[in-house]
Amino acid sequence: MIAEEDNLTDTRKPKRFRLVVRSAEEAVRMIREKLGDSARVVSVRQTGGEGLKRFISSPKLEVIAEVPPVENSSNAESIEPSDDSEKIVSEVPQIEKSNNEGQALETAAKPLNPSQSPELTNDFPKDALQLLSRAGFDEVLISQIKSWPEVGDISNLSLADVLRKVTQCLSDRFKGTPQVPLGSKTALLGSPGSGKTTMLCKMLAHEVFIKKKLPMVLKLENGVPNPDDSLRIFCEVIGVTLYREESKIPTATLQSPLFIDIPGISLSDSAEWSKIKASLTSLGVSSRILVVNGAYDSKVLSKCVRIGGNLEATHLAITHFDELSNASKLWPIIFDSALSPYCISTGQNITGDFSSNVLNQMIAKSFPENLYTQSFSSYQRI
């Protein structure tokens, strides 16, 4: 490891400077003015917030810039922060890095002078939404965003401002979706693999331990085998009564609601779905939660929503959320299904997380982690 004194006295080595600023524009301007066009960015890191906070609050960027030896050796003393920046902390001693860190810094390093990297300039996206697309943002959602009148003209906005505006629009539109409370009778609908029985267990635990209610469960078969081993054991553990015969069920109330678990039925078996719909109607089930596996392909999810519409579904629950690297493909499902977003769950067993705060979960997992680095890089290429 190279000590700090070695780096400061050896003029043959590049020198690094750390800037903590409020925006990428400010960082680029200061680096160009104080360190010159030969300086390059080594790394960019957002500080002061994660998830939703990084888009709605005012983030700070920690930027490490490197200048060649000798010719810029006196620049450190001349750098001063401007009024709207935080500060420039100091010259950073060059230290020995681990292999992973060194590789990350090398990947993130981009010259400030566009002529030094023409290949990046030539293929750089024309607008921020194109950059979102490259970063994995759902194409269907991007097309919808472009058509939203409240988005307006964003062609001249920085990527950080576009992200903030898109986040606000998504939040406003989410708040416009139906917000319907569950009734006294609720059925969970879903294909095999959607995780509806696991979701039911999580909901039952939520009803018992959080809402302090006394729920009941009906295991509906409709001529299709619907084993109850795992659900029965879970109900016994938390004190919930499981029924298999409709005639024996007490009257359901909001304090003692009835939850109905249906058998897993293939998406293509329209006849069985019709039987399920008839049974739910005869039982007077007013709340019907469509359970979808968030990791499924968008086309499969759309088909699930269509079947849910035929079954008069009222709510939407999303499972396997932890398997998604980016949840932006789910926004069109939420907006176009006309269903009330009920909950999101992670994990394939009952110990996984269950959250009724769908908006925060969706926002936190819709924007790739590297977007702020890409935002900074976009200013370098102007």
Using one digit for the tens of pLDDT, what is the confidence trace for 11-42? 567 788 888 877 666 777 777 777 877 777 77
Q: Is the pLDDT of residue 303 over 50?
A: yes
- Cα dihedral 90, 95, 98, 100, rounded to 10, equals 40
Residue 309: its pLDDT value, please?
94
Q: Is the pLDDT of residue 157 over 60?
A: yes
pLDDT, average across residues 217-238: 81
Domain boundaries, the chain: 4-123, 133-175, 185-364
pLDDT band at 116 (very low <50, low <70, confident <90, very high): very low
Q: Residue 46: its pLDDT value, please?
A: 65
Identify which has the larger pLDDT, 8 or 276: 276
Confidence of residue 214 (pLDDT cuts 50, 70, 90): very high
Q: Which neighbouring-strand residues pair with 91?
A: 17
Residue 379 confidence (pLDDT) above 80: no
CATH ID of 185-364, from 3.40.630.30, 3.40.1260.20, 3.40.50.300, 3.90.660.10: 3.40.50.300
User: Sheet harboring 340-345: ordered strands across?
Assistant: 241-243, 216-219, 258-261, 185-189, 287-293, 315-319, 340-345, 354-355
379 contacts 110 by C-beta, under 8 angstroms: no
pLDDT of residue 106: 35
pLDDT at 267 over 90: no
- With cut-offs at 50, 70 and 90, classify the pLDDT of residue 211: very high
Give mean pLDDT, residues 300-328: 94
Quote the pLDDT of residue 4.
34
> In this model, does residue 107 exceed pLDDT 70?
no
* pLDDT confidence of residue 37: 75
Q: For residues 145 and 151, is the Cβ–Cβ distance under 8 A?
A: yes
Question: What is the CATH architecture of 4-123?
Answer: 2-Layer Sandwich (3.30)
pLDDT at residue 227 tops 50: yes
Distance CA 110, CA 39 (A): 10
Q: How confident is the model at residue 95 (pLDDT cuts 50, 70, 90)?
A: very low
Q: Residue 229 above 80 pLDDT?
A: no
Q: CB under 8 Å to 138, separation ≥6 — which residues?
A: 298, 326, 328, 329, 331, 332
Average pLDDT on 220-225 reads 71
Could you tell me the pLDDT band of residue 59, with boundaries at 50, 70 and 90? low
Q: How confident is the model at residue 119 (pLDDT cuts 50, 70, 90)?
A: very low
Residue 206 tokens read as 């939520």
pLDDT score recorded for residue 223? 65
- Between these two residues, 52 and 214, which has the higher pLDDT value? 214
Query: Looking at residue 23, what is its pLDDT?
Result: 67
Mean pLDDT of 363-381: 60
Question: How, if at all, do strands 216-219 and 258-261 pair?
Answer: parallel
pLDDT, mean of residues 89-118: 38
Q: How many CB atoms lie within 10 A of CB 272?
A: 16
| Mean pLDDT (the chain, rounded) | 76
More confidently predicted of 150 and 89: 150
More confident residue, 122 or 139: 139
Say what the pLDDT of residue 306 is.
Answer: 94
Look at residue 80 and tell me whether its pLDDT is greater than 60: no
Nearest to residue 11, comparing CAs of 59, 64, 50, 69? 69
Mean pLDDT of 231-238: 90
pLDDT at 87: 43
For residues 59 and 237, which has the higher predicted lDDT (pLDDT)?
Answer: 237
* Model confidence band, residue 74 (pLDDT cutoffs 50, 70, 90): very low
